[in-house]
Amino acid sequence: MKSDIINREDIIQFVNAFYGNMKSDDLVGHVFLEVEQVDFAKHLPKMYDFWEMLLLDGDQYRGAPMQPHLRINQYHPLTPEHFDRWLEMFKATIDSLFEGPKAEEAKTKAFNIASTWSYKLEYLRKM
């Protein structure tokens, strides 16, 4: 039986696994690797802080999480298909590693954020 997400090490584990899978994805991985050429050495620690804030009440995340997506959406649309694929990979990553209430919470929070952002970005494209 798998255990639940209980500490920062667990968060580091699932974030690293998620980006490991994501890099070979033609739709979402393409945005990180080709469109934006993201510096993962800088991006990943932000994501650890972000998920630690959402799941374990961490207070290290400083940022405006939607901002880069707003910027990218202006020249490379981030569509519902991108968000669906992102979520599919996120859920598969969590389920492959963890099980329990925090694991469920991670998937629910990801779904809520992805749904809201997807809707907002689509709305902004139509303005």
Residue with tokens 């997400």: 5
Nearest to 21, CA basis, from 93, 120, 72 = 93
Is there binding between residue 17 and ligand HEM (CB under 6 A)?
no
Compare residues 1 and 57 and give the one whose CB is closer to ligand HEM. 57
Nearest to 30, CA basis, from 85, 71, 102, 112 = 85
Nearest distance from residue 20's CB to ligand HEM, in Å?
A: 16
Distance, in Å, from the CA atom of 16 to the CA atom of 21, rounded to the nearest integer, reads 9
Tell me how crowded residue 93 is: count the other CB atoms within 10 A of its CB: 22
Q: Chain centroid to CA 2: how far?
A: 22
Is there binding between residue 29 and ligand HEM (CB under 6 A)?
no
Contact region with ligand HEM (CB under 6 A), list: 6-14, 63-71, 99-107? 63-71
Give the footprint of ligand HEM on residues 94-123 (CB under 6 A): 110, 113-114
* CA–CA–CA angle 92, 23, 11 (5° rounding): 50
Contact region with ligand HEM (CB under 6 A), list: 3-11, 12-20, 61-69, 95-103? 61-69
Nearest distance from residue 84's CB to ligand HEM, in Å?
A: 9
Nearest distance from residue 38's CB to ligand HEM, in Å?
A: 4
CA distances from 108 to 12, 40, 54 (A): 19, 25, 11
Footprint of ligand HEM on this chain (CB under 6 A)?
Answer: 28, 31-32, 36, 38, 42-43, 46, 50, 63, 65, 68-69, 72, 78, 82-83, 86, 110, 113-114
